[in-house]
Structure 1
Amino acid sequence: MNGASRRDTFRLLGMLHAGQYLPINFVYMALVVILRDRGASLSQIALVSSVGLLFAAKFLWAPLLDRFGGRRGHFRSWLLVLQPLMAAVLIALLPLDPVGDYGLLMVVVLVVVQAAAVQDVAADALAVRALEPHDRGVGSGVRFAGGYVGNMLGGGAVLFVYSQWGWHAAVLSLAVLTAVPLWPLVRYREPEYADMGERPGFRAVVTVFKVPGVVRWTLFLLPLSWIGVAGAYAMVPPMLVDAGWSADRVGLVVGIAVSSVGGVAALGAGLLVERLGRRRVLALSCGAQGLALLGFSPMALGHAPFLMTTVALCSFGAVYAAGSVVINAITMDFTRPATAASDFTVLASVGTFVSLLGGAVAVALAGQVGYLTVLVGATASVLAAAVVNARLKDPPVVVPQVVQDNVSVVSA
C-alpha cells in the first residue's frame, strides 16, 4: 500500500463503512420498527424499503467521482464533504412525526440514501486502490465488521434510545455518530494513483462488462446469491413486531446481538477467504445461509420465543456476514483500478438492487401469501446459489498493465 500504513487504511475503511451503515440501517431496520410500532401498514414499510432501490442507481454518480478528483487519489476529498452532509440531513428528521409526516419523512429518507450512496462510491473506490489483491479478503472483512458496527448502532442502539427517550434523542444520537469518521478521515493520507491522461467518462460504466467473467457474475451468480437471503432478512423486523416483540427488544437482538456476531464473523471470513479461496467460501456460506433460514420458520408462523429466536438470528447473521465479505472481495477482483469508482459501483449496484428489490417484494408478498410461503422460496434460492458456486473456480484478479483509450488492459 502507498501513502498511509496498512493499519491506518484498514482502520479508516472500517470506520467509513460504519459511518455509511449508521443511516442506512436506521432507515431499513430502526425506522421500519418505529413505523410498525406506531401503526404504519406493511405497504408503507414496503415503500421505505423500495426507496432504497435508488441506492442501486449510484453507478450514475461513479463516473463523476472518477473524472473529478479520483484519478490522482482524492476520493478522500469527496468523503470529507459527504460524511458531514449525511449527518446534517439526518438533523432534518428532528421536527417530523414518523407517521403523521410520512411524506416529508420519505423526502428526507431519499436524500439520506442518495448521500450514503455517493459516500459508498468514494469509499469503495478508495478501498480498491488502497488494498493490494492479497489484502482484499482481510480488508473486506474489516470493512464489513465496520458495517456491522454501523448496523449495531444505527439499528440497535438508536432503537434503544428511541424506546427510552423518544424520537428526538434517537435522531440526534444518529446524526452525531454518523459524523464520527470525520476525525480519522482528516488525518488519512490517501494513496496517489498515477494520472494516465484524459479522464474517464460514462462509458466506463459499460466497458467493465468486457472484463472476462463479469457478465456471468453480475447478471446471474450475484443475483442468485443475494435475492433469497435479502428477501428473508427483510421480513425479520415485521415478523418480530407481529409476534409481539417490543422495539427495544428488536433493537437489542437484531441491531446489537446479530450485528456483533456478524462483525466477528466478517473478520474471520476475511482470513478464511485467503486460505480457502473466494468461490469455496461463497458456496459454503450460501449453503449455511439456507440451513440457517430454517430457523426463521417459527417467526414466520407468529412464534418468536426469545432464546430460540436469538440463536436463529445470530446463526444466520454469522453466515450472512461471511457471504458478504467474499462477494465484496470478488467484486474488487473484477474492478479496474483506473476506473475504480465506476467499475466497483456498477458491479455492486446490481447486488444492491437485487437485495433491495428482493426485500421490498418479499415484504409485499408476505402481506398477500404469508411469511412462511415467502420464506420457503427464499431458502430454495439460497441453496441453489450454493450448488452453482460450488461448481465454479475463483474469478481472475484484474490488474492494470497498459492504458488504451482510457481503459486499462487487464490480465488474470
Structure 2
Amino acid sequence: MSTMTLSAPAGIRTNRGFWGLLWALYTTQFIGAAFLSTGLVGILRDGGTDLGTLGALQLLALVWPVKFLWAPLIDRWAPGRARGHYRSWLLVLQPLMVLALLAMAVFADPQDSLRVLVILAAAFVLFSATQDIAADALSVRGLDRSQHDLGAGVQVGASYIGTVIGGGLALLIYDAWGWRAAVIALALCTAAAMVPVLRHREPERAASNAQPRGLSGMFGMLAVPGAKAWALGGVPLVTFGSAAVWSLVTPALVDAGWSLAFIGAVTSMIAAAPALAAALLGGRLCRRRGRGVTLLLGAGIQLLGGVCLAPVVWPGAGVDQWLQVPLGVVGACGVLAGYTVMNTGIYAVNLDLARPGCAGADFTLLSSIGMLGGSVGAWAALFLAGMAGYGASLVFGLAVSVAGVIVCRSHPLLARRA
C-alpha cells in the first residue's frame, strides 16, 4: 500500500471553526494533565504529602501511553452516530472531564480526601486520554494532506497553552484564592471547549473506510512501507533523548541552588512561551522547507539549549552565579523549543501515515510509542545522572536525540513539502 493513500482525501476545505475546535480540544487536554502532573503535585507537597504518594500519583500518566489498547473501539463504535462518530465521543467525554474536576472542588482541603482525589484524578486521566483519541481521529479525517503541517503545529502548540494554564495559572489562583477556586477555574476552561464541539458538524464516514478488526486494526499501520523504522526506530529515539535532557532540568537546577518557585516558573511558564512560538513556526517550516529541514533545525536548537545548560549542571564548571541564571533559563527554553520544532515535524508525518478507517487507532499508536520512549528516556537519564553525573547524562540524551533525527530523516515523507 502506498503511503500517499493513507490520509484524508484531498479537497477537504477546513474552515476556521474546525481550527478553533482543534485548538480548544488539545488545549483542554493538557490543562488537566499539567495540573495533575505539576500543579496538584506542588499543592499536595506544600500541604505535607509524602514523596511516595506523589510518585504513585505520577503513575496515572501511564494511562496515556497505553491508550492505543482501546483506540480501535473508538474507531469502530460511537455512542451516537447521528451526531457524528467522533463528535459524539467528544459530547460525552468533554463533560465528563469537567465533572471530574468539579467533583474535586467539593473538598475544601485535598489533603483530607486524598484517596478520593486520586480516584477522581484517575477518572480524569482516562477521560482525557480517550478524548485525545477522538481529537486525533478528527484531525486525521478533517485535515487535507496540505494542512497536516499546520495541523501538527496546532496540536503541539495548544499543549503548551494548556500547560501554562494547568501548571502555572492554577498555582497562582491557588495561592490567591485557594483550592476550590483553582479547580473551578480549570473546570470552566475545560467546559469552554464544548462551544466549538457543539458547533462542529462532522461529515459522515464513507463505507470504503471500514475499519479492520483485531491486530490489523491496532497494528496494521506498521505494515505501511517505512512505518516500522519510523515508529519503532526514529521517533522513539527522538522522544527518548529529548525527554532525557528535559528530565534533568529541574533536579539539576535544584542542585545548583535555584528556588523551587523560580524553577517552576521557568519550566511551566517561561519556557512554554518560546515552545508555543516554536510549534507554530515548526508547522510553517514543514510547509515551506520540508519536514527533514524542520527536524534538523529543531535538533540544532535543542543542542544549543544543551550547550547553555552544560556549564550550569556540570560540577566544577566555575560559572558565576550572575551568569548561571540566564544560561539556565536560555538552556531550558532552547531544549524545550527544539523538541517542539522536532515534534511538529513528527506529528505531521504521523497525520500522513494514519489510515482514515483507523484514524484514532493509528495516530494513537504512533503517539503512544513516542510517549513510551519519552518515559523510558526520562528514567534512564536520571538513573545515569545518579551514576555518572548530570553532565554525562546530558551528553547521552542529546546524542540519542540526534541519532533519532538521523533515522527519521530516512523516511520519504520527511522530504515532502506542501
TM-score normalised by L of structure 2? 0.84
Structure 2 vs 1, CA of residues 286 and 4 (structure 1 numbering), >3 Å: closer, same or farther? same
Instruction: Give the C-alpha shift of residue 355 in structure 1.
Output: 1.7
Range with greater deviation from structure 2 (26-35 or 174-183): 26-35
CA distance in structure 2 between the aligned counterparts of 1:230 and 1:96, rounded to whole angstroms: 35
Q: Select 2:27's aligned residue among 15, 18, 32.
A: 18
Q: Select 2:136's aligned residue among 124, 136, 140.
A: 124
2:130 corresponds to which letter in structure 1?
A: V
Q: Select 1:62's aligned residue among 68, 71, 76.
A: 71
Structure 2 vs 1, CA of residues 49 and 374 (structure 1 numbering), >3 Å: closer, same or farther? farther
Look up the match of 2:303: 290
Look up the match of 2:273: 260
CA distance in structure 1 between the aligned counterparts of 2:88 and 2:253, rounded to whole angstroms: 41
Look up the match of 2:247: 234
Q: Select 1:319's aligned residue among 317, 338, 344.
A: 338
2:226 corresponds to which letter in structure 1?
A: G
Q: Are the aligned partners of 2:305 and 2:330 in contact in 1 as well (CA < 8 Å)?
A: no
Q: Select 2:177's aligned residue among 162, 165, 173.
A: 165
TM-score normalised by L of structure 1? 0.85
Q: Are the aligned partners of 1:32 and 1:237 in contact in 2 as well (CA < 8 Å)?
A: no
Range with greater deviation from structure 2 (139-148 or 92-101): 92-101
Q: Are the aligned partners of 1:53 and 1:357 in contact in 2 as well (CA < 8 Å)?
A: no
CA distance in structure 2 between the aligned counterparts of 1:294 and 1:46, rounded to whole angstroms: 30
Instruction: Give the C-alpha shift of residue 177 in structure 1.
Output: 1.4
Structure 2 vs 1, CA of residues 67 and 392 (structure 1 numbering), >3 Å: closer, same or farther? closer
2:332 corresponds to which letter in structure 1?
A: L
Instruction: Give the C-alpha shift of residue 336 in structure 1.
Output: 0.6
CA distance in structure 1 between the aligned counterparts of 2:182 and 2:404, rounded to whole angstroms: 38
CA distance in structure 2 between the aligned counterparts of 1:40 and 1:163, rounded to whole angstroms: 17
Residue 339 of structure 1 pairs with residue 358 of structure 2: yes
RMSD (Å), alpha carbons: 3.1
Residue 218 of structure 1 pairs with residue 238 of structure 2: no
1:77 corresponds to which letter in structure 2?
A: S
Look up the match of 1:92: 103
Instruction: Give the C-alpha shift of residue 105 in structure 1.
Output: 4.1
The C-alpha deviation readout for 1:194-236, integer Å capped at 9, x for no partner, is 1338654333102221111111111111110101211232343
2:62 corresponds to which letter in structure 1?
A: L
2:133 corresponds to which letter in structure 1?
A: V
Structure 2 unmatched runs, 5+: 1-9, 316-320
Q: Are the aligned partners of 2:94 and 2:194 in contact in 1 as well (CA < 8 Å)?
A: yes
Structure 1 unmatched runs, 5+: 398-412
CA distance in structure 2 between the aligned counterparts of 1:40 and 1:312, rounded to whole angstroms: 31
Which runs of structure 2 are paired with 1:299-314 in the superposition (5 Å)? 300=313, 306-314=325-333
2:64 corresponds to which letter in structure 1?
A: F
1:384 corresponds to which letter in structure 2?
A: A
Look up the match of 2:371: 352
Structure 2 vs 1, CA of residues 144 and 197 (structure 1 numbering), >3 Å: closer, same or farther? closer
Question: How many percent identity over aligned positions?
Answer: 37
Q: Are the aligned partners of 2:22 and 2:155 in contact in 1 as well (CA < 8 Å)?
A: yes
Residue 147 of structure 1 pairs with residue 147 of structure 2: no
2:343 corresponds to which letter in structure 1?
A: S
Which runs of structure 2 are paired with 1:172-187 in the superposition (5 Å)? 172-187=184-199
The C-alpha deviation readout for 1:101-134, integer Å capped at 9, x for no partner, is 6554443332222111101000000000000111
CA distance in structure 1 between the aligned counterparts of 2:387 and 2:109, rounded to whole angstroms: 28
CA distance in structure 2 between the aligned counterparts of 1:387 and 1:97, rounded to whole angstroms: 50
Q: Select 1:190's aligned residue among 194, 202, 212.
A: 202
CA distance in structure 2 between the aligned counterparts of 1:198 and 1:388, rounded to whole angstroms: 33
Structure 2 vs 1, CA of residues 246 and 188 (structure 1 numbering), >3 Å: closer, same or farther? farther
CA distance in structure 1 between the aligned counterparts of 2:394 and 2:111, rounded to whole angstroms: 28
Look up the match of 1:74: 85
Structure 2 vs 1, CA of residues 396 and 79 (structure 1 numbering), >3 Å: closer, same or farther? farther
